[in-house]
Structure 1
Amino acid sequence: MESIDRRLVHALQIDGRAPFAKIAGVLGISEHTAARRYQRLKERGIRVRGALNRFRLGHHAWTLRLRCTPDAGPALAQALARRDDTFWVHLMSGGTEISCLQQVKNPDELLLDRLPRRLVDVSAHNVLRGFASPGTWRGLACLEPDEVAALRPEFEPEPPTELTPLDEALLGTLEVDGRAGYADLAATTRTSESTARRRVEHLRRTGVLELRLDADPSRFGFATQARLWMRVEPRSLAAVGVTLATHSEVYFAAATTGPANLVASVTCRSGGDLYRYLTERIGSLDGVRETETAPVLRTLKRVALSEGEAFPCHA
């Protein structure tokens, strides 16, 4: 990928709805070039999508780990990806394992009782605290600190409120295209452009609307991905989680309930790099008692229709 495209991708990761004129000014290119380059990125499967962060509405985030027979894996993963309350659906370990995130209003809404019988094992872990999310993945970072600061959106935070039918309609459109213009949003939801703008800005300020870059890391040269389950001494859990968030290999890390109390998703350029990451970086962390690794075969869902920050993440 060309340098200008990498810089554009990083800019969109910082603020997925930043006007092309603003992005162009920071990157030192023309507005036309920024828009044209983004269109080319979309044609390659790299785009901005919106996602509903149900945690901000009081919902609970869970990470599910499902082991199944090889013939059941692909179909089950596809079924999970079609649900509107699941995120980051991974088919792993040669197709015999699935991992995903689910947000539910009440724990009894977990889909465990609706799963097929061809499962070997099922475990559900409540996400207690997030340390890293796809929106903060450092593997894309290439802009200078002053450029990042110029692009970072500044909102006065507002408390979330119950979604209105208009909000739900706007979110539905933004899930498909996170950069949809306000005129298009107004036409799609049958409201005025000013109202569409006001409601979208409100959803962003409350954190209910997350804008995330939807892209396969392999597009950027990170061909090897894996899910890690770690058993960490409780006294070291916070420190290990904070440290993982600084690793460029990590695009998701969270403390959870269960015997493996820290889960992470990592992406590396090769299997050799993954080996070095596990042995040198994870292996050197104090308090990590045990690490289990499952290679990701395929990701069936990330952001929305194809994942947002689906868990409570704190800086």
Structure 2
Amino acid sequence: MIDALDRALVHALHVDGRAPFSRIGSVLGVSTQTVARRFRRLAAEASLRVVGLAEPGRAGRTQWLLRLGAGPHTAQDLARALARRPDTSWVRLASGGTEILAVVQTPADDGHTLLLHDLPRTNGITAVSAHCLLHVYRGGPTGWRGREAVLTADQVRLLRPGREGPVTVRPLADTDLPLLETLGRDGRASHAELAAATGWSPATVARRLAELQASGALFFDVDLDDTVLGAIAQALLWMSVAPARLDEVARALAGHPELAFVAATTGPTNLVAQALCPDPAGLHAYLTRRLGALDAIRSLESAPVLRTVKGAGPLGPAPARVRR
């Protein structure tokens, strides 16, 4: 079972995914060995890992949320095939296992290979809809508050990475790709490992990491099975909101502790959110009492999430060792 120390560790990694275990242990009042042991257990039992991700807009990428209908005997295979692609994230099975939800990133100035070529030729898909994510109000660097309700303000301040003087920021370039690919597999990779992947010196790696984080071009996310935190009932919510009030409603929803993701989209519905609740009764209460009180929401469709096939970062083998 996950306990208060495990929750504090998850919160600490949200504050700084690359914080040394020694610093986390000092802030939490436990030994470095205890933090490392807890991290290993959560990695094995709850799929915990840290991933480094480029901010899509800074990387010249457009994000799409796909809804794919499929037969019950083919949906899982299709979901796994999507999860293996480097341009997908957050692949989930929903709606009784006959719907696949996935986020796809496409080059902003290029053709959409997956959308226009690969999916239409895939056997077993019965329906396709693609919703461009116009603006993300919660998600990415601002994740679910259910993971971040443990540490005190002083503990958060002690964990936040420091900034030493002004940072000269260069935009993302092709030369950053090896760095981003390595961090996408393991956000806690050491400077020596990143230097080996990029051909840079460890000092250059450290400087470039500081630049990208300071500019917001790079952030670190935490992959985790949220059911261990009590989020048993999960659902994607598709809402239609009066356009004049879309921004107002989206900003209000971004403050709801039940939601881990809120974004404005294209399509017949213009607002999507992901709800994480302790049980079906909690989800019902949220839908009827919190969302039901917002008169600007003209329609609501909920799609229960059954399983997460892929999280924020690319699939890959677990790290060979735990970095302190």
TM > 0.5 = yes
Between the aligned partners of 2:4 and 2:172, the Cα distance in structure 1 is: 42
Partners of 1:158 and 1:101 in 2: CA distance: 32
Higher deviation after alignment, 266-275 or 34-43: 34-43
From 159, 180, 194, give the equivalent of 1:151: 159
Aligned partner of 1:126 among 117, 132, 135: 132
Superimposed CA distance per residue, residues 160-207 of structure 1 (whole angstroms, 9 cap, x where no aligned partner): 524234x22222222222111112222344432112222222332333
- Return the letter of the residue paired with 1:4: L
Give unpaired runs (5+ residues) of structure 1. Answer: 307-315
Query: 1:310 corresponds to which residue?
Result: none
Note the alpha carbon deviations across 1:32-69, whole angstroms, 9 max, x for none: 33233223322222121222333212221111111222
Query: What is the CA–CA distance in structure 2 between the aligned matches of 1:286 and 1:30, rounded to whole Å?
Result: 51
Q: Is the CA contact 1:69–1:96 (under 8 Å) kept in the aligned structure 2? A: yes
**TM-score, length of structure 2 as denominator length:** 0.87
Q: Which residue of 1 aligns with 2:143?
A: 136
1:218 CA drift (Å): 0.7
The 8 Å contact of residues 251 and 265 in structure 1, kept in 2 or not, is answered as yes
CA displacement 1:85-121 (0-9 Å, x = unmatched) = 1111111111211111111113631522311243332
Match of 1:129, SS state, is strand
Any idea what SS the aligned residue of 1:283 has? helix
Q: Secondary structure at the match of 1:21?
A: helix
Q: Which among 209, 222, 228 is matched to residue 213 of structure 1?
A: 222
Cα distance in 1 between the residues matched to 2:80 and 2:303: 19
Q: Distance in 1 between matches of 2:217 and 2:82?
A: 22
Unaligned ranges ≥5, structure 2: 316-324
Superposed, 1:1-315 pairs within 5 Å as: 1-44=2-45, 45-106=47-108, 108-113=111-116, 114-115=118-119, 116-133=122-139, 135-140=142-147, 141-153=149-161, 161-165=171-175, 167-306=176-315
* Identical-residue share of aligned pairs (%): 45
Aligned residues: 305
CA deviations on 1:111-144 (whole Å, 9 max, x unpaired) are 2231124333211111111111154210112112
State the alpha-carbon separation in 2 of the partners of residues 158 and 69 from structure 1. Answer: 52
Amino acid at match of 2:171: T
Other-structure match for 2:322 = none
The alpha carbon displacement at 1:291 in A equals 0.5
When residues 69 and 52 of structure 1 are mapped into structure 2, their CA distance, relative to the original with a 3 A threshold, is same
| Separation of aligned partners in 2, 1:278 and 1:227 | 12
Letter in 2 for 1:239: E
Matched position secondary structure for 1:196: helix
Q: Given that residues 224 and 270 in structure 1 are in contact (C-alpha distance below 8 angstroms), is that contact kept between their aligned partners in structure 2?
A: yes
Q: Deviations over 1:189-241 (max 9, x none)?
A: 44321122222223323333321111011121211211110001112211221
C-alpha distance in 1 between matches for 2:246 and 2:278: 27
Asked if the contact 1:7/1:143 (under 8 Å) is kept, the reply is: yes
